Amino acid sequence: MYETVAGRVEPVKLAACLLTVAPDLLLLEKAIFIGATERVASRLIAVRMPEAIVNARRRIARKNATKKGDTPSQAPLALMAWNLFITNVPPTVWTTATVTKVYPIRWQIELIFKSWKSYLHLAALTTTKEDSTLCYLYGRMLRILFNYALCPQTRATLWLQHQRELSLLKFARHFQALAASWLQAIFQSEFELYHFLQRACATAERLAAKASRKRRTTAQILQDEIRRPLESGAFATAVNA
């Protein structure tokens, strides 16, 4: 990570830079370059975190370091006061505020890939022959398709009835545990398969629900962002009527 200083390209001394930021400044954006040889123009965005979160981060860092007989240095402790984002998307496309809101959405995508790899075992090939490998992959991909076909309705029901979010990983693990029963239902009849899936989704509402928490979830943040322009449009229509 580099920056231009007096016409020269130098490495960014991030911790030292953030220590000089005024205490009342909650957000910092800096033009940087990524890459040692082929440098890509990027943006570094630092968001100051609340004191309670910073103290919790540092407490955990010191505890983990103590277990290893070590002491965390000042640079990592200083960085824990901030959330750091790097992107090469220009400000004309993503404002600074947008960058900070995109990260939770990106993490939801990472969870999808994790569910494919860790819970649906898409990458765990047990054969080296072409035909059996294709059968394995097609079977896994069908399971992924079935899981994500059932997920939206279960998520919507859980939210409407209990104001709880559905854990994608728990949902995948739940149906992984029911794989043998699912296979039996497929070979019995459409009626048996329908009732099996109905019971499985009902059970998932209880077993795959995320724990309740006080802070707003990613889904709630997205809903607020979608609702805001809709409400502004409705307000403008009412004023101009």
User: Cα separation of 168 and 115, whole Å?
Assistant: 7
Q: Would you call 166 exposed, middle or buried from its count of C-beta atoms within 10 A (0-12, 13-18, 19+)?
A: buried
Residues 6 or more apart whose CB falls under 8 angstroms from that of 49 comprise: 57, 80, 81, 82, 83
pLDDT in tens, 46-87: 999 999 999 999 999 999 988 888 888 888 888 899 999 999
Distant-in-sequence, close-in-space partners of 53: CB < 8 Å, separation ≥ 6: none
The pLDDT assigned to 237 comes to 46
- Whether residue 81 contacts residue 18, with contact meaning beta carbons closer than 8 Å, is answered with yes
> What pLDDT, in 10s, does the model give residues 128-162?
788 888 888 888 888 888 888 888 888 888 888 88
Dist. CA 183–CA 175, nearest whole Å: 11
C-alpha of 187 from chain center: 37
Task: Write out pLDDT tens, residues 94-129.
Answer: 888 888 878 777 777 888 888 888 777 777 777 778
**Contact at 8 Å (CB) between 139 and 148?**
no
Laid out side by side, the sheet with 27-34 consists of 8-11, 2-5, 27-34, 40-48, 82-87
Q: Is the pLDDT of residue 235 over 70?
A: no
At 227 the pLDDT is: 67
Q: Which 3 state secondary structure label does DSSP give 94? A: coil
Where residue 121 falls (left for φ over 0; alpha for ψ -120 to 50; beta otherwise) is left
239 or 146, which is more confident?
146
User: Residue 92: which H helix or E strand, with range?
Assistant: none
Pairwise pLDDT comparison (3 vs 13), residue with the higher score: 13
pTM: 0.60
**Rounded mean pLDDT, 175-191:** 83
Whole-number pLDDT of residue 239: 36
Which of 102, 81, 87 minimizes the C-alpha distance to 31?
A: 87
Q: What are phi and psi of 93, to 5 degrees?
A: -100, -50
